[in-house]
Amino acid sequence: MGILFLFFCLNPGSIFSFDSAVPPLEAKPLPQFKTPEIKTHVFSNGLRLYFLPNDDLPLFQANAMIQFSSLDESREKRGLVQMLMSAMETGGTKKQSGDEIDKILEYRAASIDAQHSHEWCSLSAKSLSKDHPLILQLLFDMMTQPAFEENKVELVRKRMLDSITRRNEDPGNIADREFAQSMYGESSPLARLFNQETVKNLSRENLFSFLDANLDPARVWIAVSGDVSWEKLVALVEKLNENFVSRKISRPSRDPVLKEWKPGVEFVSKETNQASIIVGHFGEKRFNPDKYALMLANYVLGGTTFGSRLGDTIRTKLGLAYAINSNFGFETDYGLFKMKAQTKSASTATVIGEMKHILGEMILDYPVTQAELDEAKKAILNNLIFQYSDPFEIVMARMHYDYYGYPPDYFEVFQREIARVTVDEVNAVLKKYFYPDKLKILVVGDKKAVGNLSEFGPVVDRPLDNQ
């Protein structure tokens, strides 16, 4: 869960006007997020527990993160992990049916919800503090002893099939999906989608088999916050955990992403009044030592719609975009760098030209200034304070950082590394990691209304859904 790319307003346009008669303001220290003490415990079977107390309200929150994901499913069984997690949430356990669990949760105004991503899955629970022993018991039962009731699995299957029919409704979602497939390849687990055939062919047996092959306590992290005792929590999890035996399951390796791509223009035709545009290329890996300078460079470029160079020119000055931003992605393998905009169809070529011009100008002619860098640092560090004002969010972040392999004091490391980046380093990474002459351009829109884009290279038509 790397630090989020932040979307706070700053106004670098103002930094280019300077009145020598006005004395400079005294530099203020950068904002600082102080990390509270988070208690941790590793059980004998490898399961990890994280805890940060919160006695403001009599509430309990927990998140059990499991180290398996859609990366671990085969191409033929695409959609399996999404079906598994949804059925884990609704399909009951060996002790209680799904309907019985729903009644227990409803009576106590509690909830247990499943999530999935391409790097992990999780179960999140919320209840009153007095009910936390029962809620944790239910969470463990759902995770380790699911029933995957047949009627619930069929309801999940129906929802997944219905979602396929709605997949192409939003142009922005289409653009993100197709850009990822264009960069990673349509067969890559980082970009491929389930389809009607794969979903229809999934069975309850597939769910049980996958869970048996991939669930291990050494691959489970649990974060807890609330008005509960740490000592009693450890004892409770120890008891719930006593039959959860580690089998030393390791995650299989997968083929690395090759940082290779073909620049050019790809067009996805869809009847719509506006165009969704993505211009970019590969980002970097999560532990790249230049990550902090890259985050700051991206913030100045387009980390916020209002105040970035992209936003100031394309939205504020020219009024050409409804929304515009950029994101430089970091993943376990290579993420994606994307400049994104939505504009009226007739303005598509102009917006693409401005995006390319602003990026190129930033690298060659008008490098990042000290004032822009200072504002970017303030915005990013301020976001830590707002992003992690809640104890549960803090303990969740610590758990995720450990999951990805960051040091235990990563909150402090992050702030220190952001603060020490120099303007020369930011301008150096712009030249090293951004490729204005090798951009992939993807547009979703009405081809007749958008017009000719051949000035940016040969235009290749991309089918609306390649899955």
- pLDDT surpassing 80 at residue 219: yes
Residue 276 near residue 450 (C-beta atoms within 8 A) = no
- pLDDT surpassing 90 at residue 267: yes
Q: Which CATH class is domain 256-461?
A: alpha beta
| pLDDT (mean) for 395-420 | 96
- pLDDT surpassing 60 at residue 3: no
| pLDDT (mean) for 161-189 | 95
User: Cβ-count burial of 315 within 10 angstroms (0-12 exposed, 13-18 middle, 19+ buried)?
Assistant: buried
- The residue extents of the domains of the chain are 39-240, 256-461
Dihedral in degrees, nearest 10, Cα atoms 294, 295, 296, 298: 80
Label residue 276 by pLDDT band (50, 70, 90): very high
- pLDDT surpassing 90 at residue 316: yes
Question: Higher pLDDT residue, 248 or 51?
Answer: 51
- pLDDT surpassing 50 at residue 281: yes
| pLDDT (mean) for 153-163 | 98
| pLDDT (mean) for 156-170 | 96
- pLDDT surpassing 70 at residue 15: no
- pLDDT surpassing 90 at residue 40: yes
User: Cβ-count burial of 29 within 10 angstroms (0-12 exposed, 13-18 middle, 19+ buried)?
Assistant: exposed
| pLDDT (mean) for 126-148 | 98
Quick one: three-class SS letters along 269-282?
Answer: ECCCCEEEEEEEEE
Please state, in angstroms and rounded to a whole number, the distance separating the CA atoms of residues 94 and 144. 10
Question: Higher pLDDT residue, 217 or 255?
Answer: 217
| pLDDT (mean) for 327-332 | 96
- pLDDT surpassing 60 at residue 19: no
Residue 178 CA: distances (Å) to CA of 166, 236, 277, 431, 441 = 15, 46, 11, 27, 11
Residue 348 near residue 450 (C-beta atoms within 8 A) = yes
Percentage of the chain with pLDDT > 90? 86
pLDDT, tens only, 56-105: 999 999 999 999 999 999 999 999 999 999 999 999 999 999 999 999 99
Please state, in angstroms and rounded to a whole number, the distance separating the CA atoms of residues 154 and 203. 9
Residue 295 near residue 5 (C-beta atoms within 8 A) = yes
Looking at residue 436, what is its pLDDT? 96
Looking at residue 25, what is its pLDDT? 43
Q: Which CATH architecture has domain 39-240?
A: 2-Layer Sandwich (3.30)
Looking at residue 27, what is its pLDDT? 58
Nearest CA to 332 out of 284, 290, 289 is that of 284
Looking at residue 322, what is its pLDDT? 83
DSSP state letters, 208-223: HHHHHHH--GGGEEEE
| Kind of pairing between the strands at 39-42 and 264-269 | unpaired
Q: What is the pTM of this model?
A: 0.90
Q: What is the DSSP letter of 262?
A: -
Q: 39-240 and 256-461: same fold?
A: yes
Residue 347 CA: distances (Å) to CA of 264, 280, 445, 446, 452 = 19, 19, 12, 12, 11
